[in-house]
Structure 1
Amino acid sequence: MANSITLEERGESFQPRPITSFARREGRMTPAQKKALEHLWPRYSIDLGTGPLNLAAIFNRQAERILEIGFGNGESLLQQARAAPERDFLGIEVYRPGIGHLLLRLKAEGLENIRVIHGDAWEVLQRALPNPSLDGVQIFFPDPWPKKRHHKRRLIQPSFVDLLECKIKPGGWLHLATDWQDYAEQIKAVLNQHAGFNPLANEGQSTQRPCTKFEARGQQQGHGVWDLRFKRSVDS
């Protein structure tokens, strides 16, 4: 696939996915998180317009750009942005309490290489991010939807991987992590059948991925973790 090809040229419409991959629950926001959303949102957020974003203008530089889909409370984004100030990080999240938590930490630590988008990753990728504009995409512990009748709600489906192929630069990478073995098997099946991605070796715990509190609790309970890495093909 040529780098300039668009979803429209592939015959795909810009319609939102009919089945969401996240539950429509948000949880309680603390007063501090509410205040952060009111006062820090303009500083650290990206409000979506009608066309592709100019990421160089948003970050005011050219740099390697990493997207995290579903960043939770932002632990992994914060650790990576702190460790790699030469990189720019984008985070997409649907739940406002997690966004508020991250905004507070960004202000406290003075980090300027993270920008936050509130929304459904499917729509953000389709409508806002240019083709191809990302050096890497990471999706850590997406909702596993464990009941079989809900598997259609899982984020990693062939159509979503098609979308990721458009957005990740040739030679870039996709890194996923899950603590559900059957979801890991589904992810491997979908990606291994996709011409746009090639599996990378060294599955298992990642030395490049921060260990979040969520993961640490799971490890204490004996949960396994599957880190799955793929390289964006340079030929597709």
Structure 2
Amino acid sequence: MSDAQERAFAELSDRYLLTVPRGAASTSVHPDARLDAAGEYGRTAPLIVEVGSGQGHAIVHAAATRPRDDFLAVEVFRAGLARTMLGAERAGAHNLRLVEANAPEVLEHFVPEASVAELWVFFPDPWHKSRHVKRRLVKPGFGALAERVLKDGGMLRLATDWEDYALQIREVLDDESGFERDFAGEWAPRFDGRVLTSFERKGAAQGRAIRDLAYRRRPRR
């Protein structure tokens, strides 16, 4: 991290970064760890979770413009977390909290069942080399984790600029009985709550189509 990011991490962590009981690794989550949303945010409000929040552009913008909702950013890279905290502080987005942890473990253990109104996965690492595809976040098994945390009727919103990953995501989620498509045709319209970032512009400039997908959590039986 840069010196400014180091300072941000040191000075802002107490306000934004949640303390998470760990498992074996520094970014793991202990199976008994649970988020107390009302305690952390000081109220009861719809909870929106972004996994792989990167530098926080999307979630900081959303938190600043949707003050009645609560937001949780999940990221493992400290530089991204520091930038997110700096952005939140500038924007006055005090309804935002961050978790430094592996996303699958956060969804499996830390976030309570049926507590999330929206789950966002925007431009996850494509791991585009064939030998690395198995590292992708959205693969068989991810749907069950998303189903667990989403409320009935909750939304799973995704976006990627890698065509083969978009096809994989759609195949994985179409096979999940707990979800139904919230779009007609091949792809969902661009989610207007997702701020346009330099990362997305770069992908488009390189000729990669931006693919959005949206799935709604079916009611539990």
TM-score normalised according to structure 2 size: 0.90
Q: Kindly provide the amino acid, as one letter, of the partner of residue 9 in structure 2.
A: L
Q: Deviations over 1:53-110 (max 9, x none)?
A: 1101110111111000011110001111111111100000011011111111222222
Deviates more, 1:198-207 or 1:137-146: 198-207
Q: Specify which of 9, 31, 35 is matched with residue 3 of structure 2.
A: 31
Aligned twin of 2:203: 218
Aligned twin of 1:130: 112
Deviates more, 1:121-130 or 1:78-87: 121-130
- Report the Cα distance in structure 1 between the residues aligned to 2:220 and 2:149, rounded to whole angstroms: 15
- Report the Cα distance in structure 1 between the residues aligned to 2:89 and 2:154, rounded to whole angstroms: 30
Structure 2 residue 121 is matched with structure 1 residue 139: yes
Aligned twin of 2:131: 149
Aligned residue pairs total 208
Alignment of 1:83-232 (within 5 A): 83-201=65-183, 203-232=188-217
* Structure 1 residue 235: Cα displacement: 4.0
SS in structure 2 at match of 1:231? strand
Q: Deviations over 1:113-134 (max 9, x none)?
A: 1000001011122221111111
- Report the Cα distance in structure 1 between the residues aligned to 2:90 and 2:182, rounded to whole angstroms: 36
- Report the Cα distance in structure 2 between the residues aligned to 1:109 and 1:80, rounded to whole angstroms: 10
Structure 1 consecutive aligned stretches of length 4 or more whose deviation exceeds 6 Å: none
Q: Kindly provide the amino acid, as one letter, of the partner of residue 45 in structure 1.
A: L
Q: Kindly provide the amino acid, as one letter, of the partner of residue 129 in structure 1.
A: V
* Structure 1 residue 160: Cα displacement: 1.7
Q: Kindly provide the amino acid, as one letter, of the partner of residue 33 in structure 1.
A: Q
Aligned twin of 1:65: 47
Task: Note the residue ranges of structure 1 that are not aligned, 5 or more in a row.
Answer: 1-28
Tell whether the 8 Å contact from 2:74 to 2:98 is kept in structure 1 after alignment.
Answer: yes
RMSD: 1.3
SS in structure 1 at match of 2:141? helix
Tell whether the 8 Å contact from 1:204 to 1:225 is kept in structure 2 after alignment.
Answer: no
Q: Kindly provide the amino acid, as one letter, of the partner of residue 95 in structure 1.
A: F
Tell whether the 8 Å contact from 2:64 to 2:92 is kept in structure 1 after alignment.
Answer: no
TM-score normalised according to structure 1 size: 0.84
Aligned sequence identity (%): 38
Q: Specify which of 35, 44, 52 is matched with residue 16 of structure 2.
A: 44
Aligned twin of 2:62: 80
